[in-house]
């Protein structure tokens, strides 16, 4: 399979040049996966997939086009390459367009342990058993867990091959495994779903299925009896998942395309203090086995570890070649690529550096405030930083988690929120490619009754 793809990629690059392209890139992704779901102890679904796609970007001078196809036989691929070159000719010449400076391509690639050496796709029987174990643990945890949205185990492997007409080529393979359990707690007429998951590149490093199930049950149960509260201003403690979502929004505004379009509230803030002094946010593509790790970026540039926000100062933007040229800066190795799309920008493994407080100390510091465990909706305006989202969690009274709350919103502005980070927890846990410890934000508007 591997050699076939490299041959095919090189053939497509040559074909593009024969058809008149001045430069070209090929991305070839092969993926396989199996998902197995159970619900109320019974098998609910099995899904097996297999995909192989080829993406192309061609340049005719400063004009470019991107394309993708599943038709990989030489005849149809040849016609497709010709069409793409034709499309590129019809695009406007863009002075900032082009492949990276050839000298920036890496000479060697780091080994990042992205694939599990011991396990491939997990068999359907084993996958169903794991899902069943997780769901059972939730169902038997408490008599109020009476229903379930189910549990799902999935495993997948993929291979990415990238090559361009200036001689760079690289490839990597990866695996991923995950288990999600989503039981429902009931009390009278009220129903609440809980949700918990584990995810890893190594099968053996997944959190134990039973403990995922138990956590999901506890998360459902603690929402029972949730009430609406009166509108107020109060501190908000973000649990680790919520804090991770917040740093993702903030760093999203540091991405090159948002900046050159003028669609970012971080415009003009490079090297300025934008956050509380304890805030350091790191993007690290090189963590061995990291869910967001990759040895080179979507344009074939080296990836790296960098502080995006360093002790409160916006230290770098995240840039692909195009946005870097437009902003007069150097690319940062954050080009992301999906087959058939032009490069975009994304983080790799993104995290907020932990502080010294335990979550209990953070909650204990709040007299009256919200412990935020869920948000709903998309109410973040990246141009202004205005933030207004549906929220749920547990109300804090005199430093203790008192009762669950729902049907409320939290609102503020991302600039004020990141500057208002008062405490940072010590509970950083790598559960996903973006993670953060518990944090406390000094004050937000909480709207309710």
Partner 1 sequence: MSNELVAPDKFFLNRFGMNHGALERILGSALERKADYADLYFEYKSAEGLALEESMVNHTSKSVSHGVGVRVCAEDRTGYAYSDEVTIDRMRLAAEAARAIADQRGTMPAAVQVGAPVARHALYDLPSTPLEVPVQERAKLLSEIDRIVRAHDPRVKNVMASFACEQKIVMIVKSDGQVAADVQPLCRLNVTVIAEDGKGRQMGSYGGGGRVEWNYFIENDRWREYALEAARQAIVNLDAVDAPAGETVVVLGPGWPGILLHEAIGHGLEGDFNRKKTSAFADRIGQKVASELCTVIDDGTIPNRRGSLNVDDEGTPTSRTVLIEKGILRGYLQDRMNARLMKMEPTGNGRRESFAHSPMPRMTNTFMLSGESTPEDIIKSVKKGLYAVNFGGGQVDITNGKFVFSASEAYLIEDGQVTRPVKGATLIGNGPDVLTRVSMVGNDLALDAGVGTCGKDGQSVPVGVGLPTIRIDGITVGGTRA
CB of 367 to partner 1, least distance (A): 18
If one asks whether residue 338 binds partner 1 (CB under 8 A), the answer comes out as: no
Q: Does 341 contact partner 1 by CB under 8 A?
A: yes
CA distances for 356 relative to 108, 285, 361, 424, 443, angstroms: 38, 25, 10, 7, 21
- Provide the minimum distance between the beta carbon of 263 and partner 1 in the complex, in angstroms, as a whole number: 6
Map residues 243-282 to x or -, x wherever contact with partner 1 holds by CB under 8 A.
Answer: ------------------xxx-------------------
**What residues are paired with 58 via a beta bridge?**
24, 65
Residues 121-160 that bind partner 1 (CB under 8 A): 124, 147-149
Give the torsion sign (CA, 131, 132, 135, 141): negative
**210/398 Cα distance (integer angstroms):** 34
The answer to whether 386 and 413 are in contact (CB under 8 A) is: yes
Kind plus residue range of the DSSP H or E element containing 71: none
- Which residue from 170, 278, 340, 364 is in contact with partner 1, where contact means CB under 8 A? 340
Q: How many CB atoms lie within 10 A of CB 241?
A: 22
Residue 6 near residue 100 (C-beta atoms within 8 A): no
User: For partner 1, which stretch binds (CB under 8 A), given 7-15, 158-166, 172-180, 227-235?
Assistant: 227-235
Instruction: Say how many C-beta atoms besides its own lie within 10 A of residue 204's C-beta.
Output: 9
Residue 164 to residue 335: CA distance in whole angstroms: 15
Angle between helix 2-18 and 74-90 (nearest 10) = 40
Instruction: Pick between residue 149 and residue 295 the one whose CB is nearest to partner 1.
Output: 149
Q: Binders of partner 1 among 296-335, rule CB under 8 A?
A: none
Among 29, 65, 336, 417, contact with partner 1 (rule: CB under 8 A): 65
Task: Tell which phi-psi region holds residue 61, choosing left (phi > 0), alpha (psi between -120 and 50) or beta.
Answer: left
Neighbours of 101 (CB within 10 A): 12
Q: How far is CA 341 from its chain centroid?
A: 18
**Position among 74, 205, 227, 233 found at the interface with partner 1 (CB under 8 A):** 233
117 or 268: CB nearest partner 1: 268
Residues numbered 82-101 forming contacts with partner 1, rule: CB under 8 A: 83-84, 87-88, 90-92, 94, 97
Nearer to partner 1, 231 or 356 (CB): 231
Taking CB under 8 A as the rule, does residue 45 contact partner 1? yes
Give the footprint of partner 1 on residues 161-220 (CB under 8 A): 184, 190-193
In angstroms, what is the minimal distance from the CB of 121 to partner 1? 11
Closest listed residue to residue 192, CA positions, set 239, 137, 142 = 142
Least Cβ distance, residue 24 to partner 1 (angstroms): 14
Three-state secondary-structure class, residue 361: helix
CA distance 187 to 228: 17
364 binds partner 1 (CB under 8 A): no
Residue 172 gets the label, from left (phi > 0), alpha (psi -120 to 50) or beta, of beta
Q: Residue 238 CB, nearest distance to partner 1 (Å)?
A: 16
Q: 319: alpha, beta or left, given left = phi > 0 and alpha = psi -120 to 50? A: beta
Instruction: Determine, following the binding rule CB under 8 A, whether residue 53 of this chain makes contact with partner 1.
Output: yes
Kindly tell me which residue out of 11, 61, 68, 426 binds partner 1, with binding defined by CB under 8 A.
Answer: 68
Q: Least distance to partner 1 from the beta carbon of 249, Å?
A: 14
CB closer to partner 1, 420 vs 425: 420
CB of 226 to partner 1, least distance (A): 8
Output 38 or 247, the one with its CB closest to partner 1.
38
Which stretch in 203-211, 236-244, 385-393, 394-402 sits in contact with partner 1 by CB under 8 A? 385-393
What 8-state DSSP symbol labels residue 103?
Answer: G
**For residues 384 and 429, which CB has a smaller minimum distance to partner 1 in the complex?**
384
Binding to partner 1 by residue 39, rule CB under 8 A?
Answer: yes
| Least gap, CB of 186 to partner 1 (angstroms) | 9
Q: Does 1 bind partner 1 (CB under 8 A)?
A: no
Q: How many residues sit close enough to partner 1 to count as binding (CB under 8 A)?
A: 78
CA 346 to CA 413: how far, in whole Å? 22
In the complex with partner 1, which residue's Cβ is closer, 295 or 412? 412
Q: Which is nearer to partner 1, 193 or 365 (CB)?
A: 193
Give the closest residue to 240 by CA, choosing from 145, 395, 363.
363
Shortest Å, Cβ 166 to partner 1 = 21
């Amino acid at each position: 399979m591997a050699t076939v793809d490299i041959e095919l990629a090189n053939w497509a690059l040559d074909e593009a040049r024969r058809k008149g392209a001045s430069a070209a890139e090929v991305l070839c992704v092969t993926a396989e996966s199996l998902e197995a779901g159970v619900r109320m102890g019974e098998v609910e679904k099995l899904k097996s997939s297999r995909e192989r796609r080829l993406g192309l970007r061609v340049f005719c001078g400063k004009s470019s086009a991107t394309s993708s196809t599943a038709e990989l036989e030489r005849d149809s691929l040849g016609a497709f390459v010709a069409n793409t070159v034709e499309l590129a000719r019809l695009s406007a010449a863009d002075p900032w367009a082009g492949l990276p400076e050839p000298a920036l391509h890496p000479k060697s690639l780091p080994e990042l342990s992205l694939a599990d050496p011991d396990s491939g796709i997990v068999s359907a029987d084993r996958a169903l058993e794991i899902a069943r174990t997780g769901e059972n643990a939730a169902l038997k945890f408490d008599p109020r867990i009476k229903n379930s949205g189910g549990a799902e185990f999935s495993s997948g492997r993929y291979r990415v091959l990238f090559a361009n007409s200036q001689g760079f080529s690289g490839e990597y393979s990866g695996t991923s495994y995950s288990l999600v359990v989503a039981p429902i707690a009931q009390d009278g007429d009220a129903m609440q779903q809980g949700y918990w998951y584990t995810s890893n590149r190594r099968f053996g490093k997944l959190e134990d299925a039973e403990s995922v199930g138990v956590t999901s049950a506890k998360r459902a149960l603690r929402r029972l009896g949730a009430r609406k509260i009166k509108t107020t201003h109060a501190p908000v403690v973000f649990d680790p998942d919520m804090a991770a979502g917040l740093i993702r929004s903030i760093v999203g505004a540091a991405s090159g395309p948002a900046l050159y379009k003028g669609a970012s509230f971080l415009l003009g803030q490079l090297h300025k203090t934008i956050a509380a002094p304890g805030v350091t946010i790191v993007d690290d593509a090189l963590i061995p086995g990291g869910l967001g790790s990759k040895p080179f970026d979507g344009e074939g540039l080296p990836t790296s570890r960098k502080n995006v926000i360093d002790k409160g100062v916006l230290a770098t933007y995240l840039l692909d070649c195009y946005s870097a040229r437009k902003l007069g800066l150097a690319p940062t190795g954050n080009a992301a690529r999906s087959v058939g799309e032009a490069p975009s920008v994304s983080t790799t493994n993104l995290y907020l550096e932990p502080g010294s407080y335990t979550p209990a100390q953070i909650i204990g510091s709040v007299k009256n405030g919200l412990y935020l465990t869920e948000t709903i909706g998309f109410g973040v305006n990246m141009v202004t930083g205005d933030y207004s989202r549906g929220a749920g969690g547990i109300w804090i009274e005199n430093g203790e988690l008192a009762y669950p709350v729902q049907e409320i919103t939290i609102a503020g502005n991302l600039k004020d929120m990141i500057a208002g980070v008062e405490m940072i927890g010590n509970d950083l846990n790598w559960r996903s490619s973006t993670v953060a410890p518990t944090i406390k934000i000094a004050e937000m508007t909480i709207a309710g009754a």
